[in-house]
Amino acid sequence: MEPELITLNLVPVIRDVIVEDINHDNKKDLIVFSSEEDGYEKKIIIFYQQSETPKFNEKFSFSFQIKEPCSVIFITKIGNEHNCLVIANSENLCLYRFKDNEMVLERTVTYPNAFSYNAKEPVVMRDMSYDLDNDGTDEWFIPTPRGVTIFKNFTPLSEIDFHIFHEIYSGNNMTLFYQFPVIYPLKKSQENPKPVAFLGDKEIVFAYGENWKLTKTIKIDRKNPEKWDSTYRLGDINNDGFPDILFTETQGTINLRTTLYIYISEGEYQYPANPQFEYTIKGAVSLPIMKDINNNNKDDLILFNIPLGLTNFINFFLRGKMSVETKVFLSDSNSLPLKPDYQTTMTMDAPDGKDQIAYAIDDFSGDGILDIAYGQSHNTIQINIGLQEGNLKTKQWTKVNIPAFGIIRTSYINDNKSKDIIIYRPTGENKERVDIILF
């Protein structure tokens, strides 16, 4: 069966999209965040999902002008009022509830934090709010210059201090740089409240116990000089409920080299002194992802590599094409293999200007095996379904003829087991357009 395509043309620029039931009718709605080109006229547009086709259209929508200075937006749950919106800046956290087709300001919490005051390109942060004590109301995890403050019922409960990469760079203009910590709730834990992990600069900190007042810090030393660029990810390779730590170090420009290290937990708040997994990619830009590919509740490692060799340069300049190598390492018991279980190469049209390559890995067919969607050409999104081997080996399933550059979000919209696709484009062409692909 062909997927259903819905296209919405709105006021540019579309900055982000959330799928949630905002009006409590048990149907997933579409929440679109947009701003003018200069970034300072911000708006929320909500599309109610309809029972008939198309499920989203402008007749069943309303707009809400964001009046406060805004840099961050996140969804939260307060008691029985599910899916409230928080609009945040460096000084205030403003809670809005949905009432009678309007967003009503319920509460303003003043608390200095690490968000910027009024960002030109506001972002949705999807890891700010969790219900870890199972009482129906979310806790908020608000980054600060010193770490993270945990809020409950609008009140700060615990301030967790740890090292964060927060630097000033000199040059033509002084620049302040802040790297947000990774927030990882331990959802499999039997404790109440559930612990939460924060990954900062060179250390991971666990907060647990009553009001998360107890902490445990694990140091993570980088293997190479500070001049190397580094990134961090968290996942659960051995399915023990504690996060495993992936970090990458990249050196060079022409002779680019990226090394990945993974520290796999060895029990309750226990980590080895040295990583159990190490892998080096030469001559390529690498994007690592930790995700369960074969539905065995253990995260696997996926590497997307863009080679910087002569062949790729010729394809780029003469044909407008680029190659992306995919390597898959499947979790085996409590570790990863030293060599990939599966690897392949995809060729796609290269983006122009500020366009971004659209891609997503999720279960679009509903069979429990991960599939892949990507922009094959300028006007085609190709969706390949995973084979039963469960190693991201795929075969072509379907194509959708829409502009293929942008950002893909995946979510359950239809009432079935298949993830659906939302694609929007904050840069390049088609900044006013949102496409929804329903499976």
Count of structural domains, the chain: 1
Q: What mean pLDDT do residues 129-157 have?
A: 95
Provide DSSP, 166-187. Answer: EEEE-SSS-EEEE-PPEEEE-T
Q: What is the pLDDT of residue 313?
A: 54
When pLDDT is cut at 50, 70 and 90, the band that residue 126 belongs to is: very high
Over residues 412-428, the pLDDT tens digits come to 998 899 999 999 999 88
Decide if pLDDT at 393 tops 80.
no
Q: How far apart are CA 408 and CA 356, in angstroms?
A: 10
Over residues 160-192, the pLDDT tens digits come to 999 998 889 887 889 989 999 999 999 999 999
Please report whether residue 122 resides in a domain.
Answer: yes
Q: What is the pLDDT of residue 8?
A: 93
Q: What mean pLDDT do residues 2-18 have?
A: 91
* Residue 43, beta-bridge partner list: 34, 65
Q: What is the pLDDT of residue 285?
A: 78
Nearest C-alpha neighbor of 337 from the set 303, 366, 369, 362: 303
Q: What mean pLDDT do residues 17-23 have?
A: 91
When pLDDT is cut at 50, 70 and 90, the band that residue 310 belongs to is: low
When pLDDT is cut at 50, 70 and 90, the band that residue 284 belongs to is: confident
Residue 106 exposed, middle or buried by CB count within 10 Å (0-12, 13-18, 19+):
middle
Nearest C-alpha neighbor of 195 from the set 232, 141, 137, 238: 141
* Residue 105, beta-bridge partner list: 96
Please report whether residue 354 resides in a domain.
Answer: no
pTM: 0.89
Over residues 203-244, the pLDDT tens digits come to 999 999 999 999 999 988 777 766 677 788 899 999 999 999
Decide if pLDDT at 159 tops 70.
yes
Nearest C-alpha neighbor of 423 from the set 357, 353, 358: 358
Question: Structure tokens of 74?
Answer: 């996140």
When pLDDT is cut at 50, 70 and 90, the band that residue 357 belongs to is: confident
Q: What mean pLDDT do residues 355-362 have?
A: 87
More confident residue, 8 or 228: 8
Rounded to the nearest integer, the mean pLDDT of the chain is 88
Q: What is the CA radius of gyration of the chain?
A: 22
Please report whether residue 89 resides in a domain.
Answer: yes
- pLDDT > 70: percent of the chain: 94
When pLDDT is cut at 50, 70 and 90, the band that residue 346 belongs to is: confident
When pLDDT is cut at 50, 70 and 90, the band that residue 282 belongs to is: confident
Decide if pLDDT at 121 tops 90.
no
When pLDDT is cut at 50, 70 and 90, the band that residue 309 belongs to is: low
Over residues 86-108, the pLDDT tens digits come to 999 999 999 999 888 888 999 99
Tabulate helix, strand, coil % of the chain (nearest 5).
5, 50, 45
Please report whether residue 136 resides in a domain.
Answer: no
When pLDDT is cut at 50, 70 and 90, the band that residue 433 belongs to is: very high
Please report whether residue 90 resides in a domain.
Answer: yes
Decide if pLDDT at 312 tops 60.
no
Range of the structural domain that residue 59 is part of: 12-126
Nearest C-alpha neighbor of 70 from the set 10, 4, 120: 120
Over residues 371-381, the pLDDT tens digits come to 999 888 888 99
Whether 18 and 9 have beta carbons less than 8 Å apart is answered as no
When pLDDT is cut at 50, 70 and 90, the band that residue 197 belongs to is: very high
Whether 143 and 181 have beta carbons less than 8 Å apart is answered as yes
Q: What is the pLDDT of residue 332?
A: 82
Q: What is the pLDDT of residue 406?
A: 92
Q: What is the DSSP letter of 332?
A: B
Q: What is the pLDDT of residue 227?
A: 60
Q: What is the pLDDT of residue 326?
A: 87
Please report whether residue 109 resides in a domain.
Answer: yes
Q: What is the pLDDT of residue 235?
A: 93
More confident residue, 29 or 357: 29
The amino acid occupying position 231 is T
Helices (H) and strands (E) in the chain, counts: 1, 35
Over residues 25-66, the pLDDT tens digits come to 889 999 999 988 887 889 999 999 998 888 998 887 889 999
Please report whether residue 172 resides in a domain.
Answer: no
Over residues 258-276, the pLDDT tens digits come to 899 999 999 888 999 889 9
Phi-psi region of 211 (alpha: psi -120 to 50; beta: other; left: phi over 0): left
Please report whether residue 219 resides in a domain.
Answer: no
